[in-house]
């Protein structure tokens, strides 16, 4: 039996067309349909209220066994959706074709069965669906066995076995790339960037794997796209944005040149564009980034991307990029409108937005309000992160949130609290194997700034702070802090007594 929230979520996720199809297909069934009454009532609700349903149908006999009715309704909706989306994806089409082949074979309609196999194989090759190809070849071997028993020897068994071997090899090749992708993706999702020598060695081991470094090692278009994606992610993890740009652009190009594969790999295509956006932003090509955002948002009109999963991923990736572009320009006023649209989207999509994207949203929303000098609003979003007990995902953001928190409390003049925060941040850093000297410099100067109350002494300290930090930031490894907070511009804003937005503009115009 499905829980109440699961049934409610499923019904609320249905489009108008899906609801219409469900009701039409249900109307064709005979007998009493209590599940339709239940469907209509749940559809009206904005939050699931089982007591209201029981009250509504208290005179109906079916309410006495509500759990089984809910379970039946859930299964009926899924059955309707399977029919409605039967031709939506290549996987569902091939599954249907294989079912048809099975039916025809057991009815001994071997000639018709062979036609279905040939047609399905062509589709499977076009989309590089090797798993289905393997199953189709298995059916073809069964047909061959029947043909031999009937005295027909038209098919060459050796050619079929050779074809099967090639398909298995491509499947194995693709599986190996998937394993390598899982490793680099895990590293990136946990820490963002490689934080120490140990992590850099892990990334290097993946980047130097024979399947990644070697030439012509990918045996299919799918494998080639994931190979370049892994190369791009390895480069991004080490903050090599020039190389990362080349590799992710290659992924995009491969999929653009193979629209059927692209249609079947929407998530990879969206993620490739997302990473290209970061590359554009890091290199200062903000106009190109804006054009790519428009291209990404137009994807939802294309086949393969016209679904809720793609819609959510496009929403999160494009809006985060939009905030980053505004941040680089110091245009925090413009970001306020974007922030409002983000919060509306977060309400709309709810738990369909994954945890990582929520973490990124929270941090960037805090940055928007900070840039607009709305420090209490910034603190609200920062506290959401600091109060989260996430132990694995995006520890880079949780780490730098602690430094951002210090800045916000400094602006709020909570100097006594800063003393406590410095101790807790220092304890936190000691647990990590990190090599960023800039972090210790930041803690050192915040300790001094919290103790000096006069403007003149603070300006002098900010001057020293700037000098020390600028020297450290000559080291590319130390520049990672700039991904999370523009400390140089903030320090300039305190020295020159101007808003951080103005300091960012001056720094990037210099």
254-308 pLDDT per residue, tens: 999 999 999 999 999 999 999 999 999 988 899 999 999 999 999 999 999 999 9
Q: For the residues 464-470, what does the mean pLDDT come to? A: 93
Q: Which of 4, 16, 79 is nearest to 42 (CA)?
A: 4
pLDDT tops 90 at residue 154:
no
pLDDT tops 60 at residue 401:
yes
CB of 23 within 8 A of CB of 36? yes
Which residues contact residue 343 at a Cβ distance below 8 angstroms, ignoring those fewer than 6 apart?
A: 365
How far is it between the farthest Cα atoms of the chain?
101
**Token pair 């020297």: residue:** 471
Name the more confident of 458 and 153.
458
403-416 pLDDT per residue, tens: 999 999 999 999 88
What does the alpha-carbon distance between residue 488 and residue 465 come to, in Å, rounded to a whole number? 9
- Name the DSSP class of 216: S
349-391 pLDDT per residue, tens: 988 999 999 999 999 999 999 999 999 999 999 999 999 877 7
Q: Crossing angle for the helix pair 332-349 and 308-329, nearest 10 degrees?
A: 160
Least trusted range by pLDDT, from 42-56, 134-148, 432-446 = 432-446
Tokens of 64: 């006495």
pLDDT tops 50 at residue 2:
no
What does the alpha-carbon distance between residue 466 and residue 446 come to, in Å, rounded to a whole number? 12
CB of 245 within 8 A of CB of 279? yes
* Global confidence as pTM: 0.84
Tokens of 174: 């693709």
Q: For the residues 152-159, what does the mean pLDDT come to? A: 73
pLDDT tops 90 at residue 47:
no
pLDDT at 444: 92
| Mean model confidence pLDDT for the chain | 89
pLDDT at 434: 62
Q: Which of 394, 393, 370, 395 is nearest to 382 (CA)?
A: 370
pLDDT at 120: 96
Query: Rg for the chain (alpha carbons), in Å?
Result: 29
Please tell me whether residue 460 adopts helix, strand or coil conformation: helix
What does the alpha-carbon distance between residue 459 and residue 494 come to, in Å, rounded to a whole number? 7
Q: Which of 201, 180, 199, 183 is nearest to 191 (CA)?
A: 199
- Banded model confidence at residue 191, pLDDT cuts 50, 70, 90: low
């Amino acid at each position: 039996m499905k829980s109440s929230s699961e049934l409610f979520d499923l019904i609320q996720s249905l489009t108008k067309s899906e609801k219409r199809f469900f009701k039409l297909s249900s109307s064709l069934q005979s007998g009493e349909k209590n599940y339709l009454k239940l469907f209509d009532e749940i559809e009206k609700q904005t939050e699931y209220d089982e007591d209201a349903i029981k009250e509504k149908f208290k005179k109906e006999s079916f309410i006495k066994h509500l759990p089984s009715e809910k379970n039946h309704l859930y299964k009926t909706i899924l059955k309707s959706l399977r029919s409605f989306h039967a031709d939506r994806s290549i996987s569902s089409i091939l599954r249907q074709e294989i079912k048809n082949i099975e039916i025809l074979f057991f009815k001994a309609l071997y000639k018709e069965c062979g036609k279905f196999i040939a047609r399905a194989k062509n589709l499977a090759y076009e989309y590089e669906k090797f798993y289905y190809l393997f199953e189709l070849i298995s059916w073809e071997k069964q047909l061959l066995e029947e043909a031999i028993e009937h005295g027909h020897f038209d098919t060459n068994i050796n050619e079929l076995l050779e074809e099967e071997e090639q398909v298995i090899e491509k499947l194995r090749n693709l599986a190996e790339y998937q394993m390598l992708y899982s490793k680099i993706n895990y590293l990136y999702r946990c820490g963002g960037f490689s934080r120490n020598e140990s992590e850099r060695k892990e990334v290097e081991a993946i980047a130097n794997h024979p399947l990644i470094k070697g030439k012509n090692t990918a045996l299919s278009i799918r494998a080639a796209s994931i190979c370049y994606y892994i190369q791009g992610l390895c480069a991004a993890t080490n903050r090599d944005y020039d190389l990362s740009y080349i590799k992710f652009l290659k992924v995009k190009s491969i999929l653009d040149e193979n629209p059927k594969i692209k249609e079947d790999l929407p998530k990879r295509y969206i993620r490739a564009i997302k990473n290209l956006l970061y590359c554009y932003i890091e290199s200062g090509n903000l106009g190109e980034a804006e054009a790519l955002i428009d291209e990404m948002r137009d994807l939802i009109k294309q086949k393969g991307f016209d679904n809720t999963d793609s819609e959510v991923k496009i929403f999160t990736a494009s809006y985060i990029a939009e905030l980053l572009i505004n941040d680089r320009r110091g245009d925090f006023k413009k970001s306020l409108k974007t922030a409002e649209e983000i919060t509306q989207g977060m309400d709309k999509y709810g738990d369909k937005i994954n945890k990582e994207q929520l973490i990124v949203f929270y941090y960037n929303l805090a940055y928007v309000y900070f840039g607009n000098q709305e420090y209490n609003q910034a603190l609200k979003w920062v506290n959401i992160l600091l109060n989260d007990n996430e132990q694995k995902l995006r520890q880079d953001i949780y780490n730098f949130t602690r430094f951002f928190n210090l800045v916000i409390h400094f602006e709020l003049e909570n100097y006594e609290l800063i003393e406590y925060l410095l101790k807790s941040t220092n304890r936190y850093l000691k647990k990590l194997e990190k090599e960023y000297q800039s972090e210790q410099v930041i803690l050192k100067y915040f300790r001094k700034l919290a103790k000096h109350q006069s403007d003149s002494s603070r300006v002098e300290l900010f001057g020293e702070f700037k000098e020390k930090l600028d020297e450290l930031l000559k080291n590319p490894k130390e520049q990672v802090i700039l991904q999370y907070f523009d400390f140089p511009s903030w320090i300039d804003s305190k020295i020159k007594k101007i808003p951080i937005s103005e300091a960012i503009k001056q720094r990037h115009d210099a």
